[in-house]
Amino acid sequence: MQRLRTFLDHHCNNPALVSVIEGLMVACKDIAYKVQLGSLAGVLGSAEQDNIQGERQKKMDVIANDLIKYSLQTMQPVKGMASEEEADPVACNPDGEFLVLFDPLDGSSNIDVNVTVGTIFSILQSNPGDDPTHESTYLQHGREQIAAGYVLYGPSTLLVLSTGNGTHMFTLDPRVGEFYLQRESVKIPATTKEFAINMSNQRFWLPEMQKYVSDLLRGEEGPLGKRFNMRWIASMVAEIHRILTRGGIFMYPYDSREPNKPGKLRLMYEGNPMSMLVEQAGGKASTAYDDIMDVEPTSIHQRVSVVMGSADEVDTVVRYHAS
């Protein structure tokens, strides 16, 4: 089996980028260990404080954020970083060449019930003279990402990574502390009979999304002509991992409860990195109108509607909205 470092040395011609990815994995191994210990490590329960998003943090949100921040601050190639959990970006090395954005613990509402959570990251190129404490430095289109990935903390700990040449899966062997390549150049099937959406929000969706999901539920008798199964884990990492493994479509659409926000998920920390992974695996990622990675970023905490997964089904959702 091929170690992560060996794989990167052969597939990535940027040693500094390789060192950043490896440094991130050091933090993620620590997070995996604490998640596995759970209550034995005292990491479950609420932190009794809210993050910049106005969401009540779990203890493990804070721990994961601190572990990744510490790891990034020690890396010479990292100029600055931005976390979903914090209001402002943080400077690291003024001579660094990369910017790292991350969601330290996606799906943390699941942590107390022992359901899959994960870490999502996006790596951007920094330009000379950029101020790593200013959010405008980080406002690059998704297509400018030079690497993206997530680490899934489940029955096994998995890294899913792209540096722009396919999407690849690695499994952590806890006996030796190394990630090993398991699936190279993952491909998402173009068609699917599986969808993931939070049906409890249905009454708040746009009419086009309501019509599409209604037609899904009509099965063989409906205009889509096939029976669909629904899945919902409430962890984007887990939902996208299932899609990368066997196909499907994941949707977190616009809803009318907060009409000034175009969606719930964050463009820079979730939408863009997951879109890169999905597109590099042959899938598609859209807002239901435009490709997510073409969205003009205006804030590091900007929200976006998300429809991603099997290409043919994403195209179908876009057609419903175009009509």
Question: For residue range 124-181, what is the model confidence (pLDDT) as tens digits?
Answer: 999 888 999 999 999 999 999 999 999 999 999 999 999 999 999 999 999 999 999 9
* Gap between the Cα atoms of 323 and 212, Å rounded: 11
pLDDT in tens, 285-322: 999 999 999 999 999 999 999 999 999 999 999 999 99
* Gap between the Cα atoms of 200 and 264, Å rounded: 15
Q: Which of 163, 120, 237, 167 is nearest to 12 (CA)?
A: 163
Annotated ligand binding at 110? The verdict is no
* Gap between the Cα atoms of 314 and 70, Å rounded: 38
Q: Which residue has the tokens 């107390």?
A: 112
To 10 degrees, the CA torsion angle through 302, 303, 305, 309? 80
Categorize the per-residue pLDDT at 279 as very low, low, confident or very high, splitting at 50, 70 and 90: very high
Residue 41 dihedral angles phi and psi, to the nearest 5°: -100, 0
Mean pLDDT of 25-41: 93
To 10 degrees, the CA torsion angle through 230, 275, 269, 168? 90
What is the pLDDT at residue 178? Answer: 97
Fill in the DSSP letter of residue 14: -
Report the mean per-residue pLDDT for the chain: 94
Q: How many CB atoms lie within 10 A of CB 302?
A: 18
What is the pLDDT at residue 39? Answer: 87
* Gap between the Cα atoms of 270 and 266, Å rounded: 5
* Gap between the Cα atoms of 301 and 83, Å rounded: 9
28 three-class SS: helix
* Gap between the Cα atoms of 299 and 136, Å rounded: 8
Categorize the per-residue pLDDT at 31 as very low, low, confident or very high, splitting at 50, 70 and 90: very high
Q: Which of 236, 244, 250 is nearest to 185 (CA)?
A: 244
Instruction: Domains for the chain: give ranges and CATH numbers.
Output: 4-183 (3.30.540.10), 194-322 (3.40.190.80)
Residue 2 falls in which region: left (phi positive, over 0), alpha (psi -120 to 50) or beta: beta
Q: Which residue has the tokens 């000034």?
A: 260
Mean pLDDT of 36-45: 84
Categorize the per-residue pLDDT at 47 as very low, low, confident or very high, splitting at 50, 70 and 90: low
Contacts within 8 Å (CB) and 24+ apart, 183-186:
186/160, 186/244, 186/245, 186/281
pLDDT in tens, 89-111: 999 999 999 999 999 999 888 88
Q: Which of 6-10, 47-51, 183-187 has the lowest mean pLDDT?
A: 47-51
What is the pLDDT at residue 112? Answer: 86
What is the pLDDT at residue 108? Answer: 86
Q: Using an 8 Å Cβ cutoff, are 293 and 276 in contact?
A: yes
Annotated ligand binding at 284? The verdict is no
Annotated ligand binding at 84? The verdict is yes
Mean pLDDT of 53-60: 76
Annotated ligand binding at 244? The verdict is no
Annotated ligand binding at 198? The verdict is yes
Mean pLDDT of 80-97: 95
Q: Using an 8 Å Cβ cutoff, are 9 and 26 in contact?
A: no
Q: Using an 8 Å Cβ cutoff, are 117 and 110 in contact?
A: yes
The predicted model scores a pTM of: 0.96
Annotated ligand binding at 105? The verdict is yes
| Radius of gyration (C-alpha) of the chain in whole angstroms | 19
Annotated ligand binding at 107? The verdict is yes
Categorize the per-residue pLDDT at 238 as very low, low, confident or very high, splitting at 50, 70 and 90: very high
